[in-house]
Structure 1
Amino acid sequence: MVDWSGLTTDVLEHITSFLPFTDHYRFGVVCKNWRSVSKLRRYPPAPELPWLVLDEESETKKRKFYSLSEAKHYSIEIPELHGRYICGSSYGWLFAIDIKITCILINPFSRECYELPPIPAYNRNVDFTTLLEDVPSDYIEGPRNFTIKEMQTVSVFKAILSHDPKERPDFTVMILFGEKNTPAFWRPGDSSWTVVDGPKCRFEDVLYFKEKFFVVTMMNVLHVVDFEPGPKLTEVGPEIGTEEGDPRQRYLMDFNGNLLFIERFCEDVEELCVTVRFYVLEPNLEENCLYEWYDIDDYVMFLGRNSSIFVYSGHILNCKKNGIYFTHVTLGFCGCYDLGIFDMTDKKISKFYSNEVFPRVGAPIWLSPNPW
């Protein structure tokens, strides 16, 4: 009988290059030798579709995940995520915020974790470091008592990374926080967040593209973050956006080295706000002009509160090519609470998940599994 545990490291490494994340994990529990090989990073796992990070189970407190490739749910015990709200996803890492409005950056599968400073207080009536269950706030006009979970939801709109912390220890975290989704950043060794100086308007997305951070406003104005001599925003490029009206959400994406701007339009249908259309645009920063994309060929996009993701679908099953997979968009306590696929060929929307209604807080988020 063949002694499979005795296979050489180079052969085992080659095998792992063909395995998706879940099989990569199973590979590592076969024996001690295979486990040591599974932790090497010379070959990444085979391409697969992102997972959905869902809420935690009420009884076990395990975090629920949904593998799109396998159409299968997983419940994983991750104590660091108990009671935390997921406000961002980047390079397989999650940003999770607790009841004191402090964040952690965690790889949910390797459990490696960074403690981040408290989020900058943006409301003069709220001290996030001493937040209690129902805190009066003037976040919106008129009196309003917010619960802990609601405050977790609105304090950070999005959080992304410049690099995978396992690849680059000098990474930067950029967040959009507070009432206006103001940009702020943190680097390892910093004791607090640094707020970026800029216009007092609402920002809707942030992207790390070609060694720079870009943000876009709800007025379709693109800015780049200049860190020296002091962090500030500088307007760049042409005015972006279609003439279709006011989109519910705007996204930025690095698509194979192309900077893309994506608009998401929603409509009220039977008392529900649902997604009806996406527009994909490419701003040319050098020529100061704008191009519309009508298809993305064999690729698929994944949009939400995660760093925008695209995947080549040519070798992946259970994937609708030339499509945009999307999750909730929450703007304060309003938004578009649906999940689906927008087909860029026929402009129709279909389902990829059950018709389960998700809560207005704790919306699902995309995650690219990273076993390291």
Structure 2
Amino acid sequence: MADWSGLTTDVLEHITSFLPFPDHYRFGAVCKNWRSVSKLRRHPPAPQLPWLVLDEESETKKRKFYSLSEAKHYSIEIPELHGRYICGSSYGWLFAIDIKITCILINPFTRECYELPPIPAYNRNVDFITLIEDVPSDYIEGPRNFTLKEMQTRSVFKAILSHDPKERPDFTAMILFGEINTPAFWRPGDSSWTVVDGPKCRFEDVLYFKEKFFVITGMNLLHVVDFELAGPKLKEIGLEIGQDGYPQQTYLMDFNGNLLFVERFCEYVQELDKELDLTVGFNVLELNLEVNYFCEWDDIDDYAMFLGRNSTIFFYSGHSPNCKKNGIYFTNVTDGFYGCYDLGIFDMTDKKISKFYSNEVFPRVGAPIWLSPNPW
């Protein structure tokens, strides 16, 4: 019988280049020699479908993840995430906010972490000093106030990074915060978030594209963040976007250097013995900023798109037999009254929606969010 433990380092390293990162850990458990090779980490893991970040286990407080490639759940002990709400995902990092409305940026697999400044106060009707945890807001008379648990899930709508902090220590973090999702940014070394001056309207999404941050309003007006002025401001781009109808949510996406605008449409349907607001379709448009023109796309070739409160994620279907090409994988738009239940795959070819997960209803705190595994 061959002595597999005696394989040379170069052969073993070549083998690891074909393994997704969960198999790297299994590989290292075989024997001492294989474990030493697995720790070298000279080759990145094989491409793997995004993971779904779920809520934490009530008893152990471990964070639950769902691997789409393996159709398997993992429970991982990450003390930094205990009791935190995940409000953003970018380059394999998570933005997580706690009950005190403080936020961290963490890689859940390496446990590298950045402490971020407090989220800017935004609601003139809320006094952060006098907020009382767990007091139902229905009991508060006068202007609308929020409990700390409500503030935890409402403070930040989305958070993204300009670059992977492992590759660019001079990265920029951008959030949409507050009642109208006001843009604000932070860079390592800053003592606070800098709020971007702009129109007082609701913003739907933010994207870092070709060295610039873009935001889109609820009226489908595109703006770019101008950092060159004395104070960062939003500059409107003269492009009227959109098709007929009223989308529930819109997204900005970077697909191989193409700026895409995605409209998501929902309808109330009877399901799970309740009337739920469920996704029924998407429109995908390409924006050409040089000539102020947009056109509709019927497909995204052999790729899949992953939508949610995460940064742009596209995945080449040839890297995984479990990936549905030309599909849009989506999670809940927001934390609904009944929790998070709107998960599925929209096929851009036949316009049908299928399930990639069960009909389980997730709690309001801990909405599923896509994460690109970044374990190195």
Same fold (TM over 0.5): yes
* Residue 144 of structure 1: how far off its partner (Å): 4.7
Instruction: Determine if contact 1:109/1:371 at 8 Å carries over to the other structure.
Output: yes
Q: What is the distance in 2 between the residues matched to 1:335 and 1:344?
A: 27
**Bigger mean CA deviation after superposition, 333-342 or 281-290:** 333-342
Q: What is the distance in 1 between the residues matched to 2:116 and 2:129?
A: 13
Matches within 5 A, 1:151-190: 151-190=151-190
> Which residue number in structure 1 is paired with residue 200 of structure 2?
200
- 3-state SS of the aligned residue for 1:206? strand
* Residue 146 of structure 1: how far off its partner (Å): 3.3
Counterpart AA for 2:201: C
Q: What is the distance in 2 between the residues matched to 1:129 and 1:294?
A: 51
**Alignment partner of 1:361 is 2:362:** no
Q: 1:336 to 1:78 in 2, by over 3 A?
A: closer
**Bigger mean CA deviation after superposition, 264-273 or 146-155:** 146-155
Selected match of 1:314 from 314, 318, 334: 318
Question: Any stretches of 5+ residues in structure 2 without a counterpart?
Answer: none
- 3-state SS of the aligned residue for 2:19? coil
Instruction: Determine if contact 1:274/1:336 at 8 Å carries over to the other structure.
Output: no
Selected match of 2:330 from 321, 326, 330: 326
Matches within 5 A, 1:293-308: 293-308=297-312
> Which residue number in structure 1 is paired with residue 242 of structure 2?
241
TM-score, normalized by length of structure 2? 0.91
**Alignment partner of 1:345 is 2:321:** no
Instruction: Determine if contact 2:339/2:361 at 8 Å carries over to the other structure.
Output: no
CA RMSD of aligned residues (A): 2.4
Q: What is the distance in 2 between the residues matched to 1:141 and 1:174?
A: 34
Matches within 5 A, 1:204-215: 204-215=204-215
> Which residue number in structure 2 is paired with residue 265 of structure 1?
265
**Bigger mean CA deviation after superposition, 107-116 or 118-127:** 118-127
Instruction: Determine if contact 1:95/1:106 at 8 Å carries over to the other structure.
Output: yes
> Which residue number in structure 2 is paired with residue 228 of structure 1?
228
> Which residue number in structure 2 is paired with residue 7 of structure 1?
8
TM-score, normalized by length of structure 1? 0.92
User: How many residue pairs align between the two structures?
Assistant: 369
Q: 1:251 to 1:102 in 2, by over 3 A?
A: same
**Bigger mean CA deviation after superposition, 159-168 or 39-48:** 39-48
1:280-327: CA deviations, max 9, x gaps? 001110011111000112110000011121100013122211100000
Q: What is the distance in 2 between the residues matched to 1:136 and 1:225?
A: 38
- 3-state SS of the aligned residue for 1:297? coil
* Residue 359 of structure 1: how far off its partner (Å): 2.4
Matches within 5 A, 1:1-40: 2=3, 4=5, 7-8=8-9, 10-30=10-30, 34-35=34-35, 37-39=37-39
- 3-state SS of the aligned residue for 2:15? helix
Q: What is the distance in 2 between the residues matched to 1:237 and 1:313?
A: 35
Counterpart AA for 1:213: F
* Residue 176 of structure 1: how far off its partner (Å): 0.3
**Alignment partner of 1:122 is 2:122:** yes
- 3-state SS of the aligned residue for 2:208? strand
Q: What is the distance in 2 between the residues matched to 1:11 and 1:237?
A: 56
